[in-house]
Amino acid sequence: MTQDSQPDPLDETQPIEPAAADVGRYAPTPEPRPDTRWAWASAASQTPTPWASAATATGAASVGDVPPPPEATPAGGFGGSSVPPPSPVTPAPSPRRQGGAGIGAVVAASLLSAVLASSGTVFVLRQTGAFTGPATSAPQANPSAGTGNPVSINESSAVIAAAAATSPAVVKLTVTAQGTDPFGTGQSEGVGSGVLYEATGWILTNKHVVNGATKIVVELKDGRTFDGRVYGIDTYTDLAIVKIDATGLPVAALGKSDDLKVGQLVIAIGSPLGTYSFSVTSGIVSAKGRELTEGTARITNLIQTDAAINPGNSGGPLVDAAGNVVGINTAVATDSSGIGFAIPIDIARPIMNQALKGETLARPYIGVRYNTITLQLKTALGLSVDNGALIGSGDGTGNGVTAGGPADKAGLKDGDILLAINGAQLNQEHPLDAMLVQHAPNEVVTLDVLRAGATIKVQLTLGVRPTNLQ
């Protein structure tokens, strides 16, 4: 508050109302007093009060601070003034009426009662610790997941920390490939992104970034460049593994995309337009389980985000607020603004592990056609369950089991409803293909199957997904 502001309501030097001017009591000229709001900023020679010292340590007293009890105030008044208070003056006695207490006695008794009551209240409050309550501090970001407690995150600090942790592991891929131009077949060059997930040079990126590559130059954020080669192409989704010959490289931490919540903060890192290398953009998870179709290619179970994703971001990581990779940026919606998509890291993890083991990239195969059960499908077919995967066509007819495939060998039939894989429930957020792809070929899984009103368990050995399967 400045000197031009309204009078301080706590200042005892305010003018007396005219109606009170006739009261026959001593009213000395008020002495000026210091502005106690600035007591914590006074010269060091003055003795600060305990609450003023606390305010100095924090820069300002927080709203709702309780002033110190009267006995804690230093001599000289509230705020450390050295001006002594005026000497009390005893007014001349006035005649008293016979037969009852005078008005002065009544007022004095009332004042004494109020003082005693307030003193008792102060004592009780002090004894209960009301004057010395715990100091509050600004909420801190907690990257831990699954605690069940609400977590406050400073968005700017989270983005800065996540970008600092992950950016060193993000790479720029300059790819030369065979291409066709109006003058015939020639070489074309494009730029994409990738992320190092193992220190000996293993990189996860998009299939469409490196497909048909004849030369790959991998650039790290620190400026180093390496020649890269395509280790393998995913047969299920738009992913690929690139290898460079190096050791001791920075790697990104991997998160769990299944734990993502709609509205959660995410960060995209990459080289948009091939020019703005190692750019960072932020947004939220807009939706999960999205599907894209491009010609005959179909990608399912995508993360939708409004973090800015442009050509050149493809293959780069989508990161959560703790700096963990939760997806691989892959596409943007045509003619859209702020609609991008990423492949969940849980879907990529199996082929990443296969590459580290030196295995050929392969996806599991069950050999069924199915429909995810929705409320509409349940109502139309009169099903007894709300969730699961119904084997067969949408109307319950047709052959849904591929002859000679893993499901056929395990004894699955049209009309069976798959409820769970290894105890993990199937539903609209966790459809069969998304849950199945997290397993490896030749792995034996246990299926919970609803057949003719009874639930049975079926052991099934997963096959290898054909490369031409759409």
Catalytic residue, candidates 167, 193, 234, 238: 238
User: What is the pLDDT at residue 267?
Assistant: 96
pLDDT in tens, 96-109: 444 444 555 444 54
Dist. CA 219–CA 237, nearest whole Å: 25
421-450 tens-digit pLDDT: 999 999 988 899 989 988 989 999 999 999
CATH of domain 256-349: 2.40.10.10
List the domain boundaries for the chain.
164-244, 256-349, 364-464
pTM of the predicted model, to two decimals? Answer: 0.64
pLDDT > 70 fraction of the chain, expressed in percent and rounded: 64
- The whole-number average pLDDT for the span 77-92 is 46
d(CA 305, CA 285): 5
Residue 279, pLDDT above cutoff 70: yes
| CATH architecture, domain defined by 164-244 | Beta Barrel (2.40)
Q: Which residue has the tokens 């050929």?
A: 360
Tell me the average pLDDT of the chain: 75
Q: Which residue has better confidence, 289 or 95?
A: 289
Report whether pLDDT(112) > 80: no
> What per-residue confidence (pLDDT) applies to 178?
79
Catalytic one among 167, 193, 208, 282? 208
> How far is Cα 106 from Cα 422, in angstroms, rounded to an integer?
85
CA 303 to CA 262: how far, in whole Å? 9
Residues 6+ apart with CB under 8 A from 338: 283, 306, 308
- Which residue among 81, 257, 279, 314 is the active-site one? 314
Same fold yes or no, 164-244 and 364-464? no
Exposure of 350 in the CB half-sphere (CA atoms within 13 A): 20
Q: How many CB atoms are located within 10 Å of the residue 53 CB?
A: 11
**Interval 210-230: pLDDT, tens:** 999 999 999 999 999 999 999
417, β-bridge pairs: 390, 450
Stated length of the chain:
470
In this prediction, residues 391-402 reach a mean pLDDT of 74
Is pLDDT at 148 greater than 80 in this prediction? no
Higher pLDDT, 445 or 131: 445
Q: What is the DSSP letter of 465?
A: P
Catalytic, 208? Answer yes
Instruction: State whether residue 305 is helix, strand or coil.
Output: strand
> Is 314 assigned a catalytic role?
yes
238 as an active site residue: the answer is: yes
CATH of 364-464 among 3.40.50.2300, 3.40.50.740, 2.30.42.10, 3.10.580.10: 2.30.42.10
* Per-residue pLDDT band at 200 (split at 50, 70, 90): very high
